[in-house]
Amino acid sequence: MSRPLYYYAKLNENDICYGFESLGKKLNPCPSNMVYLPDYNETYLWKKYDRELKAFGQETYEPSIDAELQEKIEELETENSQLKEQVMELNNTINILNGSILELTQLIASLQSGGVE
């Protein structure tokens, strides 16, 4: 039997819904940048959430292309930073492995020549 999903609208700093999150458990308390939705409903996208009324308004606040591009740039910069960290970690691992390979090669050469140093 599958677990129920709980739906949330993700809100930006202006309380405008910019996306949705589906989770396997109910958040309690709900983070301030999210609003619980009884059902998945994409009509809330780009609508402003009124915290006093606990409801979404009717007016749409779609972002400009510049805002979308800026958001994408920020995502790519974060991903780039994470990839750089992974590359550095992999380079460190490679250096460690190269050192181990060198030691093993020297040990094998020493054993083949008849003596251990």
What's the mean pLDDT in 79-89? 94
pLDDT, residue 3, reads: 76
Widest distance between CA atoms in the chain:
86
Question: Which of 4-8, 65-69, 86-90 is predicted with the least confidence, judged by mean pLDDT?
Answer: 65-69
112 vs 61: CA distance, rounded Å = 75
Q: How far apart are CA 38 and CA 44, in angstroms?
A: 12
Tokens standing for 53?
Answer: 């009324």
